[in-house]
C-alpha cells in the first residue's frame, strides 16, 4: 500500500476516535501552587485536547463521562485523560493554578482569572477541522477581545506566557476532506499558519511563548492497534511527525530573527522525543517486571471499548451498562485512551521537557 494511502487511513482512524471527545479543567480542585504576589505571571493556552481543560460542551464530548477524571479530580471534569494534562503541569512549573477555561470565565470569581485563561478546544486545529469549535485564530480573537474589554492589561500580557499546543487534527481533517496534496505541502501550510498565529500572540503583547512540536503520531494507540496490535509504532506516521517538526524548528528560528519578535522568548517543547523516551522507558520497566501484571504495555491504552464499535466511556443506551474496560492500574499506563496520554503519561512527558522550561524560569524570577 502506498505510504500516502497508509497515512490517510491511519489519520482517518485517529480522527474518528478523537472527534467525540474534549476535556475540561477542575479549576477549584486544581494545583494549589500559588505564586508570590510579586509574580503576576499568567498562562494563556491555545489549541486542542492535549491542552484543553474544559471548553468543550458536556453533551458533545466523551471526556465528561466516567471513567474520565478517575485519577484527578476523581470524577469527569472535561480533561481528555484520567487526570491532569499538559496544561496543568506547565502551570505547576510556573507556580500558578491551571488557568480557567474560557467557557467558564463568567462563572468564576474574577480573582480566579488572575492565573490566565485556557482557550483550547479539543478536536480543533490551526485551520478548520471537522469539529465545530473555535480554531486557533478564533481562540486568539477571544484573547484580543478580553484585552479590549480591559480584563487583561498590556502589563498583564507583558508578564505572561502563552502555551501553543499542536497535535494532529489538521492533518486528519485535511485528508478526510478529500485533499490529496503531498504531505510536505500540507505540513508547510500548517506550520506557516501556526507561525502567523505565534506572531499575532506576540504582537498582542505576550513575549514568552511555548510551542509544542507534534507528537509521534505513529505511536498513538488508534494507529498501533491497527498496524501492530499495540506492539510497535508506525514508522510511516512518525516520519510525517518528524517532517512537521523539522519545518517547525526552521520557521521558528526565522521568526526569532524577526525585528518585532527577536526580543521575545520562543521555546519549542519537544513532545516527539519526550513521548518516545517515556514509552521506551516504560517498555524497559515492563520487560524488567517479567510476568508481573503490575506494568502496562505503554502502547496500549488503559481505557478501551469492549469492541471496535465502542470507546472509552461508552454506555449501552438501553441497559446503561458500561461498554468499556479500564486497566488495573492507570498510574502505570502511558496512554489513557486511543489518542491521549494518561496523567502518568503526561507527567513523564513533562519530566522530559522540563529542562526546556528552565530559561523561561529565569525570566519569571525577574518579573
Active site residues: 49, 337, 340
CA distances from 201 to 128, 180, 205, 264, 339 (A): 19, 31, 7, 11, 28
Q: How far apart are CA 69 and CA 14, in angstroms?
A: 22
Q: How far apart are CA 123 and CA 107, in angstroms?
A: 24
- Which of 156, 160, 158, 175 lies closest to 14 in space, CA to CA? 175
C-alpha cell at 307: 469492541
- Which of 165, 35, 20 lies closest to 98 in space, CA to CA? 35
Distance of CA 74 to the CA centre of its chain: 21
> Residue 101 in contact with residue 25, Cβ under 8 Å?
yes
CA distances from 49 to 167, 181, 362 (A): 8, 26, 29
| Strands of 52-122, DSSP E | 100-101, 116-118
Q: How far apart are CA 26 and CA 53, in angstroms?
A: 8
C-alpha cell at 299: 502502547
Amino acid at each position: 500500500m502506498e505510504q500516502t494511502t497508509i497515512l490517510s487511513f491511519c489519520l482517518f482512524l485517529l480522527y474518528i476516535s478523537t472527534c467525540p471527545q474534549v476535556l475540561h479543567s477542575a479549576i477549584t480542585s486544581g494545583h494549589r501552587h500559588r505564586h508570590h504576589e510579586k509574580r503576576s505571571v499568567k498562562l494563556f493556552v491555545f489549541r486542542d485536547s492535549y491542552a484543553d481543560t474544559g471548553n468543550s460542551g458536556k453533551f458533545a464530548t466523551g471526556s465528561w463521562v466516567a471513567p474520565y477524571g478517575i485519577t484527578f479530580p476523581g470524577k469527569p471534569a472535561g480533561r481528555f485523560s484520567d487526570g491532569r494534562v499538559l496544561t496543568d503541569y506547565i502551570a505547576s512549573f510556573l507556580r500558578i493554578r491551571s488557568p480557567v477555561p474560557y467557557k467558564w470565565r463568567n462563572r468564576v470569581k474574577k480573582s480566579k482569572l488572575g492565573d490566565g485563561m485556557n482557550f483550547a478546544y479539543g478536536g480543533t486545529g490551526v485551520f478548520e477541522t471537522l469539529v465545530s469549535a473555535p480554531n486557533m485564530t478564533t481562540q486568539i480573537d477571544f484573547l484580543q477581545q478580553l484585552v479590549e474589554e480591559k480584563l487583561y492589561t498590556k502589563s498583564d500580557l507583558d508578564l505572561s506566557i502563552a502555551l501553543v499546543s499542536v497535535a494532529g487534527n489538521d492533518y486528519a481533517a485535511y485528508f478526510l476532506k478529500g485533499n490529496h496534496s503531498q504531505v510536505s505541502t500540507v505540513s508547510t501550510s500548517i506550520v506557516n499558519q501556526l507561525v502567523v498565529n505565534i506572531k499575532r500572540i506576540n504582537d498582542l503583547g505576550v513575549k514568552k511563548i511555548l510551542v509544542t512540536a507534534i507528537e509521534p503520531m505513529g505511536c498513538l494507540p488508534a494507529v498501533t492497534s491497527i498496524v501492530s496490535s499495540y506492539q510497535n509504532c508506525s514508522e510511516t506516521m512518525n516520519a510525517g511527525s518528524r517532517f512537521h517538526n523539522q519545518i517547525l524548528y526552521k520557521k521558528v528560528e526565522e521568526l526569532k530573527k524577526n525585528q518585532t519578535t527577536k526580543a521575545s522568548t520562543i521555546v519549542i517543547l519537544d513532545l516527539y522525543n519526550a513521548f518516545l523516551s517515556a514509552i521506551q522507558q516504560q517498555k524497559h520497566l515492563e520487560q524488567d517486571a517479567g510476568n508481573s501484571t503490575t506494568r502496562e504495555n505503554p502502547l496500549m491504552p488503559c481505557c478501551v471499548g469492549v469492541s471496535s464499535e465502542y470507546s472509552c466511556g461508552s454506555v449501552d443506551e438501553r441497559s446503561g451498562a458500561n461498554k468499556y474496560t479500564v486497566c488495573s492500574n492507570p498510574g502505570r499506563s502511558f496512554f489513557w485512551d486511543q489518542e491521549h496520554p494518561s496523567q502518568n503519561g503526561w507527567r513523564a512527558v513533562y519530566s522530559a521537557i522540563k529542562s526546556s522550561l528552565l530559561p523561561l524560569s529565569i525570566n519569571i524570577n525577574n518579573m
